[in-house]
Amino acid sequence: MAKVLSGKEVIASMKEKMTARTEALKARGVTPSMCIIRVGARPDDLAYERGARKRMESVGVKLDVLELPEDIEQSLFQREFQRVNEDPAVHGIMLFRPLPSQLSDEPIARAIDPVKDVDCMGPVNIAKVFSGDPTGHAPCTAQAVMEMLDHYDVDLTGKNVTVVGRSMVVGKPLSMMLQKKNATVTMCHTRTLDLAAECRRADIICAAAGHAGMITADMVSTGAIVIDVGINVNEEGKLCGDVAYDEVAAKLGEAGAVSPVPGGVGGVTSSVLTEHVIRAAEMMYGI
Ligand code: NDP
């Protein structure tokens, strides 16, 4: 069976480093602080919020939530956002999306202070990720994949990496970040002619398509590394990834490795978000 790439290990290692940085900030009188802007109370948003709160509090980062009514109109929504954007005590902002249909997030994405834009919604951070400028905040999930690979000492130089999915939150930024680490990246999507062949020739597969169990044993090569970003619910109502875990883990063999769902990339994403808030606070105080 393949080695299990556990998100828990990555989270524990990140926690240690983040706690030290938070303590250093607090010694200077700064408590790194995050504001989540939530319109309404979607169960998915509430679940994410609970996870983020737990992670942030565990390392001394403060989390506030600005809860706005579901029927709020655009002008008031923007005013509320601007208040948080201009508040010097707030270092990181995250807006839960999708928004209700009467609202547009475009003015928010344009207006957000790039330093506070900890989940990369605005054009400045997107441009920085795509141009390889390390001063930006990358999208948290794409960064979480990189943290997993880094934690497990996966050398990307010259490796063939197949990324399945080309969204702006995962696939596209991830492919840029992998290339910055000298990987040769193939991006796949719904129009890819032979997805199985593109996956089979990969040393590393990053699956971010959002289809339960679509990466099967016949699509991977023995010894490959498979990172499963997908979060899906299967026919039995259980949380699962894009990878058919048991058969893929068996095919990869002892030389291979695979991240599980749950227990893989998902939890690391909240740690990355927390790290971005600490980083934003450090940037604001020139540390
Ligand atoms: P999107 O739906 O925005 O994008 C999915 C991408 O996968 C698209 O580019 C699509 O191609 C491609 N795709 C879909 N089906 C196939 C297929 N059968 N073969 C090849 N390519 C396919 O999803 P996201 O990027 O937002 O999320 C992807 C997955 O990651 C989801 O399961 C989501 O839940 C999970 N996720 C996990 C997070 C975490 O914290 N771990 C955070 C964010 C997302 P095309 O462009 O042609 O339509």
> Alpha-carbon distance 61 to 193, whole Å?
46
- Whether 144 and 269 have beta carbons less than 8 Å apart is answered as yes
Q: Is 231 in the pocket of ligand 1 (CB under 6 A)?
A: yes
Can you tell me which atom of ligand 1 is nearest the CA of 170? 25
- Could you tell me the distance, in angstroms and rounded to a whole number, from the CA of residue 235 to the centre of ligand 1? 18
- Whether 81 and 117 have beta carbons less than 8 Å apart is answered as no
Q: Is 269 in the pocket of ligand 1 (CB under 6 A)?
A: yes
Task: Give pLDDT, residue 81.
Answer: 98
- Whether 207 and 243 have beta carbons less than 8 Å apart is answered as yes
Give the C-alpha distances (Å, rounded to integers) separating 174 from 2, 12, 66, 170, 236. 23, 23, 30, 6, 30
- Could you tell me the distance, in angstroms and rounded to a whole number, from the CA of residue 72 to the centre of ligand 1? 30
Q: Is 216 in the pocket of ligand 1 (CB under 6 A)?
A: no
Residue with CA closest to ligand 1 atom 8? 165
* Tens digit of each residue's pLDDT, the chain (287 residues): 999 999 999 999 999 999 999 999 999 999 999 999 999 999 999 999 999 999 999 999 999 999 999 999 999 999 999 999 999 999 999 999 999 999 999 999 999 999 999 999 999 999 999 999 999 999 999 999 999 999 999 999 999 999 999 999 999 999 999 999 999 999 999 999 999 999 999 999 999 999 999 999 999 999 999 999 999 999 899 999 999 999 999 999 999 999 999 999 999 999 999 999 999 999 999 88
> Alpha-carbon distance 202 to 215, whole Å?
13
Give the C-alpha distances (Å, rounded to integers) separating 165 from 25, 97, 193. 38, 19, 14
Give the C-alpha distances (Å, rounded to integers) separating 168 from 98, 126, 141, 228, 233. 14, 9, 11, 17, 22
Q: Is 194 in the pocket of ligand 1 (CB under 6 A)?
A: no
- Could you tell me the distance, in angstroms and rounded to a whole number, from the CA of residue 172 to the centre of ligand 1? 11
Q: Is 170 in the pocket of ligand 1 (CB under 6 A)?
A: yes
Q: Is 211 left (phi over 0), alpha (psi -120 to 50) or beta?
A: beta
Q: Is 266 in the pocket of ligand 1 (CB under 6 A)?
A: yes
Nearest to 112, CA basis, from 89, 94, 130: 94
pTM attached to this predicted model: 0.97
Can you tell me which atom of ligand 1 is nearest the CA of 192? 20
